[in-house]
């Protein structure tokens, strides 16, 4: 179990230790590649990775593509497709392997591990609303990808863990878990727009925020939601409270970050966690 407290991080989020607007980058499954794609003297190019549009922002007089790398990506050479002034070209980059540790969890509600037919119907019915939120693309110039920690608590489960529920292999852990007392405030880590709220089978009470150019964040298992779809939020705006709804073993925030429709490690967006690749867990 992680013994790292995040409470001190909230106290120093106004003092960003990363001078660059880019997130920390590590070209591994579940990681991020930041790739220079042109000079700012030219209009921002369009960039695609695996046919999905990629976020582009400015840093040090260069345009950079901020590419989310799926967790199931194999080590090897990959490329992004760049379109600038009607000219298309590819830029290659290398993904190296990363082995994530395993986590074994006991879920008392067995239907959260093996859903009944009526549960599966609910899950299928919920999927379109979630997909619509994750497919959001808004044209917005993003100035900075240094986020505020959304809740004060203890980092209980890092990203990427190979998960076993009641000894059954399930999907890897797709976000960052921060344990806190029920009712603890959850805030927006960056400016954005609320694109979806709802109560979902696995995720419980949920909020999705659009920060622009396919950068989406999700907040799950809330006890209370304090925003509504369409609402504009600033960094630090309260969006809900910690809870234990959905598939959980106790109160915590499960926080997802999506780039080009890909779940990536939220730790890369927190300047204070300057070396997220060294985050380990032991349960």
Closest alpha carbon to 252 in 184, 199, 163: 184
- pLDDT at position 18 over 50: no
Burial (Cβ within 10 Å: 0-12, 13-18, ≥19) of residue 26:
buried
Q: Are 173 and 105 in contact (CB under 8 A)?
A: no
Higher pLDDT, residue 278 or 92: 92
Report the alpha-carbon distance of residue 53 to residue 50 in Å, rounded.
8
Higher pLDDT, residue 210 or 12: 210
Q: What is the pLDDT of residues 255-283, one digit of tens each?
A: 999 999 999 999 999 876 644 444 433 33
pLDDT on residue 19: 55
SS3 24: coil
Record the pTM. 0.88
Q: What is the pLDDT of residues 105-161, one digit of tens each?
A: 998 899 999 999 999 999 999 999 999 999 999 988 887 898 999 999 999 999 999
Report the alpha-carbon distance of residue 88 to residue 166 in Å, rounded.
49
Report the alpha-carbon distance of residue 192 to residue 202 in Å, rounded.
24
User: Residue 243 has what DSSP assignment?
Assistant: B
Kind plus residue range of the DSSP H or E element containing 118:
helix 117-134
Write down the domain spans for the chain: 7-12+100-278, 32-95
List the end-to-end C-alpha distance of the chain, in Å, as a whole number.
5
> Domain 32-95 in CATH: superfamily?
Peptidoglycan hydrolase domains (2.60.40.1590)
Architecture of domain 7-12+100-278: Distorted Sandwich (2.70)
What are the φ/ψ torsions at residue 50 (nearest 5 degrees)?
50, 45
Average of pLDDT values for 240-268? 96
Say if strands 102-105 and 162-165 run parallel, antiparallel, or are unpaired.
parallel
Say if strands 252-259 and 176-179 run parallel, antiparallel, or are unpaired.
antiparallel
Sign of CA dihedral 87, 64, 133, 70: positive
């Amino acid at each position: 179990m992680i013994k790292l407290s995040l409470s001190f991080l909230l106290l120093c989020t106004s003092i960003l230790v990363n001078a660059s607007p880019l997130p920390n980058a590590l070209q591994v499954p579940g990681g991020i590649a930041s790739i220079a794609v042109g000079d700012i003297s030219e209009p921002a190019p369009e960039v695609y990775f695996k046919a999905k549009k990629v976020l582009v922002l400015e840093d040090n007089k260069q345009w950079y593509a901020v590419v989310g790398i799926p967790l199931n990506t194999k080590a090897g050479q990959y490329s992004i497709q760049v379109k600038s002034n009607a000219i298309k070209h590819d830029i290659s980059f290398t993904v190296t392997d990363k082995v994530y540790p395993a986590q074994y969890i006991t879920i008392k509600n067995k239907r959260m591990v093996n859903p009944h037919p009526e549960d599966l119907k609910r899950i299928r019915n919920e999927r379109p609303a979630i997909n619509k939120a994750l497919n959001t693309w808004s044209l917005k110039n993003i100035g900075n990808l240094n986020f505020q920690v959304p809740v004060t608590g203890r980092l209980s489960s890092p990203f990427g863990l190979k998960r076993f529920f009641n000894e059954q292999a399930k999907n890897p852990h797709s976000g960052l878990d921060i344990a806190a007392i029920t009712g603890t405030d959850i805030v927006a880590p960056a400016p954005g727009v609320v694109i979806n709220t709802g109560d979902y089978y696995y995720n419980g009470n949920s909020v999705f925020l659009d920060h622009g150019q396919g950068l989406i964040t999700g907040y799950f298992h809330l006890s209370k939601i304090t925003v509504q779809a369409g609402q504009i939020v600033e960094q630090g705006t309260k969006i809900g409270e910690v809870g234990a709804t959905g598939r959980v073993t106790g109160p915590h925030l499960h926080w997802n970050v999506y780039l080009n429709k890909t779940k990536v490690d939220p730790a890369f967006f927190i300047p204070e966690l300057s070396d997220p690749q060294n985050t380990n867990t032991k349960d």
